Structure 1
């Protein structure tokens, strides 16, 4: 049996991480892996998370299975955090998942079971795992225009032109905030136009919101998701706690299915729990319990929100520093988009050859599509990156 296995293509980001580790140069800069790092290059455990874990350790008396849906306080807390009453709770089915990736996978399987002929529309570019999962499941998918490499902004006209071809029952995958990999986001007015088109076409939105709190703030980052969810008959939402709670390895996510009425929501809840059972039985609990503890404790929640805001402002400061340094080196405003983008990532809109030149000449490691992790920078490495960008002729 095993001799019939074939070699699978290496994950580009994981391969980049390995190359970075093997690079002996002291001035190397890792801007590939998508995790937040502080000025010391460490991905810290939040103080609120440590305090929540202490509370859990002191109070927890069992490690028995949770329910198929997961910890109820986590589910209710996350529905409130993401939607804040934008949708009647009775219309929402929800389950805990192993990270945001698990939520996306469960969403795709739900689509496959209920609408096997549906085409899933994804932005060009998008997070690579979106397309990888769709390909693995053998699901039909098409790309819609999103990023203009000349302006480094959203190609909204192209996006709307492509989405005009969406058919009734198709699924449109949207990034709720802090678009990965580009960092370029729709305005709220543009979101309203997208919602109107989705409703006109009879399509279903699937929102991936993995960076709430990393862009313009917790509520501002959720505004588009709340607008979409409150304006359509049906909607799927995949949310992650990896970034905004800093609990990457705990694999903590949630999938919400918003139905047209309470009866259908109950059917959705049953199907979501069935999918959990088939794929991993009971969902992991520790990360979900950390989040639930924080969201349901006023003191811990305040601590967490303050830490998250500090993280957000740190990334905005790094963006501005990089834009300013590039302006100084080039005497041009053409890199101002870096300060305007939001979230962990920006795509600088250059070729794979120039990205490779930056790696070879300056030990700058970023994904070949020119996505760079802003959170991988610090005061010392911003000038190194800026010089590498200029030297490479970006």
Structure 2
């Protein structure tokens, strides 16, 4: 039977990683893969994670299963981290998942269970894996306008016009902060208007918050999600710990489902547990336990927050440096948006042909839609990138 299988389309980012790896040039720059790197090009283990792992080594006495939802303490910690007091936690069901991707997949599974004819609305553009998973599951995907390619900003009027087509029972997927791949975010006032529209349509919001703490700050980055949670009777939230805790390979995520009334939470939670059981049974615990330990210990949490702030400010510094250098070289404000965007990514508006030329002529690797990872830069490589972009991107 396996002989009937057909080759699957290659993942463009993984394909780009292979090209970068095989490039012999010492001057090559990797701006493609979506992972945080420090100035030395490394993805270090955060101090608080190291400390928590040492503590866990001393106190852990068993590797037995926790629960289908994962350790309840992890769910409670994530509710506080993401939602704070914006909604009664008694209305919120939560499960641990294998990374933020696992949370997204389980959110789609839940949406399908609630409405087999559900349409998932995603921004244009969005993280490619959103669309890939939706299509693989056989669900209907529609896109809503989001990014103004000419000005590299959110086209909010076009977005709201697109969302007028949303139907009752549909799911609207929103990026909670640090939009991937554009770096361009809605304002809180715009999120409020989107919430009104979702309410009017009888749809459900699904917030993907994968970069909390990487944009304007830990609390600030959660503000939009909290606004939606306070306003909408029901909502899904897929949260990732990969980036802000630096535990990519531990695959630590959380799916939260907000019910309209606390009395409904038991059924919602039971359904979430059921979905975990069907897909992978008990979720991984190691990363989730480290996150729980850090968020529950004042000293560890303070150190984690301090290091996360260093990471955030470092990326903002690189954004400002790159925007300033491009302004100097082009004698224009064309690239000023880079300093205004937030998170790891920005789309710089280069054509696929220009992206290819940047790779071939300068060894600068970015995704074909011109998404670049700001965290792949350092103070020395910013001028190299700026000079290449100023020359190639006319």
TM-score range, shorter chain: over 0.9
Q: Which residue of the partner structure matches residue 334 of structure 2?
A: 334
For residues 115 and 251 of structure 1, the distance between their equivalents in structure 2, rounded to whole angstroms, comes to 28
Q: Which residue of the partner structure matches residue 55 of structure 1?
A: 55
Q: Please tell me whether residue 345 in structure 1 is matched to residue 360 in structure 2.
A: no
CA displacement, residues 61-101 of structure 1 (integer Å, 9 cap, x when unaligned): 00111100001221111100000011111111110000000
Q: Contact 2:96–2:253 at 8 Å: present in 1 too?
A: yes
Deviation at 1:350, TM superposition (A): 2.1
Deviation at 1:169, TM superposition (A): 1.0
SS in 2 for 1:97: strand
SS in 1 for 2:231: coil
Query: Which structure 2 residues correspond to residues 51-130 of structure 1 after superposition, within 5 A?
Result: 51-130=51-130
Q: Which residue of the partner structure matches residue 197 of structure 2?
A: 197
Q: Contact 2:170–2:204 at 8 Å: present in 1 too?
A: yes
For residues 108 and 195 of structure 1, the distance between their equivalents in structure 2, rounded to whole angstroms, comes to 20
For residues 259 and 221 of structure 2, the distance between their equivalents in structure 1, rounded to whole angstroms, comes to 23
Deviation at 1:125, TM superposition (A): 0.2
Query: Which structure 2 residues correspond to residues 365-380 of structure 1 after superposition, within 5 A?
Result: 365-380=365-380
Q: Contact 2:350–2:393 at 8 Å: present in 1 too?
A: no
For residues 53 and 74 of structure 2, the distance between their equivalents in structure 1, rounded to whole angstroms, comes to 14
SS in 2 for 1:95: strand
Q: Which residue of the partner structure matches residue 388 of structure 1?
A: 388
Deviation at 1:387, TM superposition (A): 1.1
Deviation at 1:393, TM superposition (A): 2.2
For residues 10 and 129 of structure 2, the distance between their equivalents in structure 1, rounded to whole angstroms, comes to 13
Which segments of 5 or more consecutive residues in structure 1 lack a partner in the other structure? none
Q: Provide TM-score, normalisation by structure 2.
A: 0.99
4+ runs deviating over 3 angstroms: none
Q: Please tell me whether residue 286 in structure 1 is matched to residue 286 in structure 2.
A: yes
Deviates more, 1:219-228 or 1:258-267: 258-267
Q: Which residue of the partner structure matches residue 240 of structure 1?
A: 240
Q: Contact 2:134–2:141 at 8 Å: present in 1 too?
A: yes
For residues 103 and 185 of structure 2, the distance between their equivalents in structure 1, rounded to whole angstroms, comes to 22
Q: Which residue of the partner structure matches residue 160 of structure 1?
A: 160
For residues 2 and 142 of structure 1, the distance between their equivalents in structure 2, rounded to whole angstroms, comes to 32
Deviation at 1:37, TM superposition (A): 0.4
For residues 203 and 281 of structure 2, the distance between their equivalents in structure 1, rounded to whole angstroms, comes to 30
Which segments of 5 or more consecutive residues in structure 2 lack a partner in the other structure? none
CA displacement, residues 226-254 of structure 1 (integer Å, 9 cap, x when unaligned): 00011011100000000000000000000
Q: Contact 1:149–1:350 at 8 Å: present in 2 too?
A: no
For residues 293 and 248 of structure 1, the distance between their equivalents in structure 2, rounded to whole angstroms, comes to 17
Q: Which residue of the partner structure matches residue 13 of structure 2?
A: 13
Deviation at 1:141, TM superposition (A): 1.1
Q: Please tell me whether residue 37 in structure 1 is matched to residue 37 in structure 2.
A: yes
Deviation at 1:392, TM superposition (A): 1.1
For residues 114 and 54 of structure 2, the distance between their equivalents in structure 1, rounded to whole angstroms, comes to 42
CA displacement, residues 116-157 of structure 1 (integer Å, 9 cap, x when unaligned): 112110000000000000000000110000000111100101
For residues 3 and 298 of structure 2, the distance between their equivalents in structure 1, rounded to whole angstroms, comes to 56
For residues 103 and 209 of structure 2, the distance between their equivalents in structure 1, rounded to whole angstroms, comes to 11
For residues 207 and 361 of structure 2, the distance between their equivalents in structure 1, rounded to whole angstroms, comes to 39
CA displacement, residues 261-297 of structure 1 (integer Å, 9 cap, x when unaligned): 1232211101110010111110000000000000000
For residues 306 and 73 of structure 2, the distance between their equivalents in structure 1, rounded to whole angstroms, comes to 22
Q: Contact 2:20–2:365 at 8 Å: present in 1 too?
A: yes
For residues 263 and 138 of structure 2, the distance between their equivalents in structure 1, rounded to whole angstroms, comes to 30
For residues 182 and 68 of structure 1, the distance between their equivalents in structure 2, rounded to whole angstroms, comes to 35
